Amino acid sequence: MITKVVLTKKVIKELSSIPDFINDKLEVWIQTIEEIGIEEARKIPGFHDEPLKGKRKGQRSIRLNRSYRAIYVIRFDSWVFVEIIEVNKHDY
């Protein structure tokens, strides 16, 4: 069960310029993963967890609201963890 979440330096920088309520929802998602694991967190409909296509194949995203999403990957090093690689304002 994957229960560890790591933020890249890029994400830490991005979080300083997004609204607080977006930061709050991301924190809720991280806490959910740490409590029940990524497999169970993916089942929660409010996060709209989905695999990405095209040049982002192998990555997944969650919706933090209609505009913002967090993009993450599962890393397999000496241990397995979720790495959030980007938080951005999604273009529709």
- The pLDDT, as a whole number, for residue 91 is 67
Average of per-residue pLDDT values in the chain: 89
- Kindly report, residue by residue over 22-42, the tens digit of the pLDDT: 999 999 999 999 999 999 999
Q: Residue 85 is encoded by which pair of tokens?
A: 């690689």
The CA-based angle 74-91-51, given to 5 degrees, is: 25
- The domain made up of 5-89 has a fold known as YaeB-like fold (3.30.2310)
pTM of the model: 0.87
Per-residue pLDDT band at 4 (split at 50, 70, 90): confident
The yes-or-no verdict on residue 76 having pLDDT over 90 is no
The more confident residue out of 55 and 78 is 55
Q: Where are the domains of the chain?
A: 5-89
Residue 36's CB: how many other CB atoms inside 10 A? 14
CA distance 25 to 56: 23
Neighbouring residues of 77: CB distance < 8 A, sequence distance ≥ 6: none
Contact 84, 7 (CB under 8 A): yes
